[in-house]
């Protein structure tokens, strides 16, 4: 074996060991990198994208899925509670749609098992989009462009709410945000984080935050009581998981939110009462962990949390097919 071959083999072996070591190191952490989306049916995703942005699914013709889960704003609306039909005040903070496919269930109380079940809720909720499933289907079925696309995707021109929610869910499943600086650090790029950010991550782990905020989504995998050590005085009427299970033990238990892209998804908590990450870290430390973080510790944890912002979804905005004379008209004003 020539010296050149020996050197090449050693270099290759060293590179392989480095990759294995980085992968092993990432596997040892309570948080794992996010993988890029790999849609199985691009045509279904494209239809879902159109429906996600189409305000005609609402009674007013003004509200779409993107209104409360704005993909230019971290998949939320940056309001304490969302604005519904006729400017109704929503009862709860809109969680981000980004990486929502990783959640154990949908909505703060988990009343929807998956994204497909969630997608139909706001359409028929009188405080949100205020339509009905029957009216939404009638609107779509009156638009030849949609009928043709449903036929191409599903093999039938019939439009129904099952197909509508399946398509929206397929699009939402693509809204993942890989390649954050923290993910690159997990994958072995140790210069991706500054020293203070690494120290913040260590504090995040040592303080017990990872008991709930773990996995690829850094949360979303369990329901936990808001106010374990110290009671939390909420400004929202939401009761938590008890509204679904009717079990008093679940009162004020909420789905743990993902911390991915958390610097973009303010304000925080189910009632939106924490306006800043600094405030959120302070509150969670006190009421969940019984710990008062110093200003320096808080700043380091916040610095770490900001490294969780990944590549935001990028796509061509859809051109929606036009309504026809037969399309039911929106009711933007009045009851």
Distance CA 109, CA 94 (A): 12
Distance CA 32, CA 27 (A): 7
SS3 state at 177: coil
> Is 128 a residue of the active site?
yes
Instruction: Give the single-character DSSP code of 59.
Output: S
Distance CA 59, CA 114 (A): 24
The two structure tokens encoding residue 146: 């949609």
Residue identified by tokens 């990450």 is 277
Distance CA 40, CA 101 (A): 15
- For 87, phi and psi rounded to 5 degrees? 60, 30
Distance CA 101, CA 258 (A): 11
Kindly name the residue from 128, 197, 273, 297 that is annotated as catalytic.
Answer: 128
Distance CA 221, CA 20 (A): 27
Q: How many CB atoms lie within 10 A of CB 334?
A: 7
Task: Give me the residues paired with residue 237 across strands.
Answer: none
Instruction: Give the single-character DSSP code of 317.
Output: P
| CA nearest neighbour of 230 among 274, 282, 278, 302 | 282
Residue identified by tokens 């191409």 is 152
Which DSSP string do the residues of 136-195 spell out, in sequence order? HHHHHHT-HHHHHHHHHHHSS----HHHHHHHHHHHHTT------HHHHHHTT-GGGS-H
Catalytic residues: 128
């Amino acid at each position: 074996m020539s010296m050149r071959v020996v050197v090449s083999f050693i270099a290759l072996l060293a590179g392989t060991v480095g990759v294995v070591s980085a992968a092993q190191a990432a596997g040892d952490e309570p948080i794992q990198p996010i993988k890029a989306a790999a849609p199985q049916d691009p045509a279904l995703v494209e239809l879902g994208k159109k429906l996600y942005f189409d305000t005609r699914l609402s009674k007013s013709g003004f509200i779409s899925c993107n209104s409360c889960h704005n993909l230019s704003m971290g998949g939320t609306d940056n309001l304490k509670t969302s604005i519904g039909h006729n400017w109704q005040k929503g009862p709860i903070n809109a969680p981000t749609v980004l990486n929502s496919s990783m959640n154990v269930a949908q909505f703060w109380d988990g009343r929807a098992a998956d994204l497909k079940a969630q997608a139909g809720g706001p359409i028929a909720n009188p405080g949100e989009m205020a339509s009905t499933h029957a009216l939404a289907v009638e609107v779509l079925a009156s638009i030849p462009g949609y009928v043709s696309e449903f036929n191409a995707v599903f093999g039938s021109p019939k439009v129904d709410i099952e197909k509508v929610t399946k398509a929206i869910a397929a699009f939402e499943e693509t809204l993942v945000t890989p390649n954050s600086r923290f993910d690159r650090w997990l994958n072995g790029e140790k210069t991706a984080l500054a020293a203070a950010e690494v120290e913040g991550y260590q504090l995040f782990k040592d303080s017990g935050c990872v008991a709930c905020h773990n996995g690829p989504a850094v949360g979303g995998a369990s329901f936990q009581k808001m106010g374990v050590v110290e009671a939390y005085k909420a400004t929202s009427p939401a009761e938590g998981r008890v509204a679904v299970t009717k079990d008093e033990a679940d009162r004020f238990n909420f789905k743990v939110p993902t911390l991915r892209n958390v610097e973009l998804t303010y304000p925080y908590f189910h009632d939106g009462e924490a306006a800043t990450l600094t405030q959120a870290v302070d509150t969670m430390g006190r009421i969940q962990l019984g710990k008062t973080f110093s200003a320096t510790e808080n700043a380091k944890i916040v610095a770490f949390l900001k490294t969780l912002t990944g590549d935001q979804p990028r796509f061509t905005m859809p051109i929606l097919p036009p309504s026809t004379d037969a399309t039911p008209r929106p009711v933007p004003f009045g009851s």
